[in-house]
Amino acid sequence: MKKRKLFTTTIVAVMGAMLIACGPTEDKLLEAEEARTVLLDSRKAAEETFLDITDSSNKDRLEELSQKTAEIEAMDLSKLNDKKIDALLSSINELTQEYQTMGTDMTAVLNEETSVRQEKAKHLQKDVNFINKTGMNLSGLLLHDLTMDSYSDNFIGSGVTLNDGYTLMGATLDVYEDSNEWEFVITSEGGTNYILTCGNLKELDQNGVTIVLEYDANTKEGNAQVPAKEEIEEEGQEETDEITDIPEEAASTEESTDN
């Protein structure tokens, strides 16, 4: 009787060892495969988010995690027993948690950087030339965004004067896409400010725009307007004619001098 009992116990022990050697139970294997899938998905999400941001502070840590994850990815889970899978699950869950935490932090960075980029894209850069026809020498010329109630820097520059009749070239307007109303503020040499109304600056071409600054001292009104291309060409021709046409008196004087 004792021999039979001992024999039965031995069989149970051998069968248990065989089960361990043969691999995990079906439920444990499924649990491990699902956990590994979550880990791989978490790695993919974190690494893709990292590529979309400029902050590279997580680079080294992501490489370390990727190496550990690659080792787990290459494992044949069917060759592990339940005990080893339990130990592996602990490592898998730890890596997954770190990936997800890092992913959450990087997503916050991505959202912030995306918001900054979108806001920056709303600022349209317009290259312009200003012609001063205000009848005054100017020490200041600013763009006032009425919608945002913000002011540009002085286009003329500190300590510089834009004389009446002269052109300021190479200025750049920062026109905000969400704004709808602007005005220019000019400052005379004497320090007095004047308001010049203007149209919709979003409709300006990107480059080579000429804006004429005008002010009427009688009506106390001024404007900053973009003249038609034909007006600019006619004005340029008139200035050329003034230079090339010699008055008759001057011509006769030159002739008498030659004689």
Q: What pLDDT, on the 0 to 100 scale, is given for residue 161?
A: 96
User: Which distant-in-sequence residues (6+ apart) come within 8 Å of 148 by Cβ?
Assistant: 176, 178, 179
Which sequence spans correspond to the domains of the chain? 24-120, 124-241
- Taking the C-alpha atoms of residue 171 and residue 154, their distance in angstroms, rounded to an integer, is 10
Residue 158 Cα distances to 162, 173, 196, angstroms? 11, 18, 20
Spatial CA neighbour of 202 closest among 244, 142, 147: 147
Q: Which residues of the chain have pLDDT under 70?
A: 1-22, 228-259
**From 3.40.50, 1.10.286, 2.30.30, 2.60.40, which CATH number describes the 124-241 domain?**
2.60.40
DSSP 168: E
Q: What is the pLDDT of residues 180-234, one digit of tens each?
A: 999 999 999 999 999 999 999 998 887 779 999 999 999 999 999 988 654 545 5
**Which residue in 136, 144, 181, 185 sits closest to 161, CA to CA?**
136
What's the pLDDT score for residue 227?
A: 81
Q: 156-168: per-residue pLDDT in tens?
A: 999 999 999 999 9
β-strand partners of 63:
none
What's residue 206's pLDDT?
A: 72
Q: What is the pLDDT of residue 239?
A: 45
What's phi and psi for 207, nearest 5 deg? Answer: -135, 155
Q: Are 201 and 147 in contact (CB under 8 A)?
A: no
